[in-house]
Amino acid sequence: MKGLCVDKVAMMIKARRLVKDVDDLPAIPAIVSKVVNMLDDVDADSDAIADLMLSDQVLAARVIRVVNSPLYRPNSEITSVKRALLFLGFRSVREMILTSYFVGAFKGREESFDIKTFWMHSFNVGAIAKCIAGMVGYRDTEKANLVGIIHDIGKVILGHYFKEEYGGMLAMISGKPYTTYEAEVEVFGTSHCEVGLCLAQRWNFPPAYCDIISYHHTSELATEDPFLTAIVSLADYHSLASTPASGIVQATMPGRSEESAWNALRQLSSKPLPVDLDGFLLQLADELGKSSREADILFHSMALE
């Protein structure tokens, strides 16, 4: 598996064939897409966004609940959507909305792996990506958090709609030095990256988000936002390396993708970095205490609601 030859075009064709046969893929409500697009506009009017959000009571309630969680700790309870927007900022609300709907879209679906382990890894990658973004001077740290959380959406599709095959694959690699990515390519002829891209495109995710979902294990191929793809690639590696192996989250030694990601960070960072990847990972570990606590709070605020 270590010498696996990755043909991304063939893998994408295979992924589209797999997804084409699924007739009940989850969907994100159109109003959520509209709100997120407005939140991406720095000149958007907060009153207009609040009015649109209030037309979806589930969306409004989620924002109010999370803004009053221990993660944000407002001085007094926030009960209006507009005040939540002003308190959190557009970027944080964008992250919160997409994350909550991403989690909600897959909630209650039977999987071939422990879904709590999957979500904990996803939220942890988000927190690590946000931390790395701050360390290297990437401007939109909330975006780094969001794409870190959603980077593995393809695993949920494979684990639910191809439960028997995916469960057998995970059993096959349990306790062995293989990643799920390598095993997926061998068993399915494609991976969670390509399957996740199919879903991201169906949900009309921005091109940079799609690129990261597709290339976080082959970061050298990223074109839309190589800087952010490198951040998520190393965040994913760090999370996997720090987690007990359980099939769905298994790491190996840094490979070509991680080396490419590290080289990209060194070239694009606006802040000084250690001379090698090992030194950077040690520095990252020292920075992660607060981020890990935030990931745990956000996980319990959204994933277990």
**Which span out of 28-32, 67-71, 277-281 was modeled with the highest average pLDDT?**
277-281
Least confident of 132-136, 190-194, 225-229, 239-243: 239-243
- pLDDT band at residue 33 using 50, 70 and 90 as cut-offs: confident
Q: How far apart are CA 130 and CA 147, in angstroms?
A: 10
90-109 per-position pLDDT tens digit: 778 877 777 777 777 777 77
Describe the crossing of helices 81-88 and 90-106 by its angle, rounded to 10 degrees. 110
pLDDT of the residue at 5: 45
Overall size of the chain counted in residues: 305
pLDDT of the residue at 99: 78
149-171 per-position pLDDT tens digit: 999 999 989 998 999 999 999 98
pLDDT of the residue at 229: 96
Describe the crossing of helices 57-67 and 46-54 by its angle, rounded to 10 degrees. 120
Q: How far apart are CA 239 and CA 258, in angstroms?
A: 13
Q: How much of the chain exceeds pLDDT 70, in percent?
A: 88
- pLDDT band at residue 120 using 50, 70 and 90 as cut-offs: confident
Average pLDDT over residues 249-267: 81
pLDDT of the residue at 225: 95
Residue 1 has pLDDT above 60, yes or no: no
Q: How far apart are CA 95 and CA 220, in angstroms?
A: 26
47-78 per-position pLDDT tens digit: 888 888 888 887 788 788 888 877 777 788 99
User: Are 49 and 39 spatial neighbours (Cβ–Cβ below 8 Å)?
Assistant: yes
What's the alpha-carbon Rg for the chain, to the nearest Å? 19
Q: How far apart are CA 108 and CA 285, in angstroms?
A: 33
- Range 8-26+92-302 has CATH code 1.10.3210.10: yes
- pLDDT band at residue 2 using 50, 70 and 90 as cut-offs: very low
The identity of residue 12, as a single letter, is: M
Which spans in 68-162 are helix H? 81-88, 90-106, 115-136, 141-150, 153-161
- pLDDT band at residue 294 using 50, 70 and 90 as cut-offs: low
What mean pLDDT, rounded, does the chain reach?
83
3-state SS, 224-244, equals CCHHHHHHHHHHHHHHHHCCC
pLDDT of the residue at 270: 94
Q: How far apart are CA 170 and CA 305, in angstroms?
A: 27
Residues 6+ apart with CB under 8 A from 185: 4, 6, 11, 191
169-195 per-position pLDDT tens digit: 998 888 777 888 889 999 999 999 999
Q: How far apart are CA 51 and CA 168, in angstroms?
A: 48
pLDDT of the residue at 305: 46
